[in-house]
Structure 1
Amino acid sequence: MSNTPHTLGEEFPDQMDKIHALKVSDPIFAQLLATYDEVNDEIHVAETNVQPTSQDRETELRKRRLSIKDQIAEALSQTA
C-alpha cells in the first residue's frame, strides 16, 4: 500500500507530539491508536479493491473509524 488516507498525521497534524506522549504513557490510548490503524488499513484495502468488500461493510468500517477518531480527539482534548 502506498498512501493510506486518513492517517493520524493527516487527521491531527498539530497534535502528533501529544499523541506520541499519550501513546507511551497510556496503554488504553495506545490500543485505541492501534485499532484506528487496523480499521483504516482495512478501509484502504477495500477502497483499492485489493480485497473487495461489500458497500455495507465499507460503510460500517468508516463509521467505526470515525467513532475511534472521535475517541482520540476526546482523549487529546482532556490532556493539558
Structure 2
Amino acid sequence: MSNTPHTLGEEFPGQLDRIHALKASDARFAKLLLEYDAVNDEIHVAETNVVPVTQEHETELRKRRLTLKDRIAEALAESA
C-alpha cells in the first residue's frame, strides 16, 4: 500500500540510505524491517476498516510497531 502512514521514510527522515545499507549487511536488521512493515500494514488495514479489529487488538499492534521502531532506531544509532 503506497499510501500507508508511518513508513520508514517518514519515521526516519534522511536515513533511508543508512537503512538500506544496514538492511543489505545485517540479516537480523532486514528481518526487523519486514516485521515493521507487516505490522504497519496491519494497522493501516485496521484503521481504514478494511478488516475490522477490536480496539484492544489495534492498540496491541500499535505498541508492537512502536517497539519495532525503537529497535530500528537503536540499530541505526549503533551503526553510526
TM-score normalised by L of structure 1: 0.97
- CA pair 3-77 structure 1, distance change in 2 beyond 3 A: same
What residue number does 2:54 align with? 54
Instruction: Give the % identical residues.
Output: 74
Query: How is 1:10-29 mapped onto 2 (pairs within 5 angstroms)?
Result: 10-29=10-29
Amino acid paired to 1:25: S
Runs of 5+ unmatched residues, structure 1 = none
Q: How many residues align?
A: 80
**What whole-Å deviation, never above 9, does each CA across 1:2-29 have from its counterpart, x for those lacking one?**
5100000000011100000000000000
Counterpart for residue 45 of structure 2: 45
CA RMSD of aligned residues (A): 0.8
How far apart in 2 are the matches of 1:63 and 1:48?
18
Structure 1 stretches of 4+ with a deviation exceeding 2 A read none
Unaligned runs of 5+ in 2: none
State the TM-score, normalizing by the size of structure 2: 0.97
Residues 72 and 2 of structure 1, relative CA distance in 2, 3 Å threshold: closer
Aligned to 1:67: 67
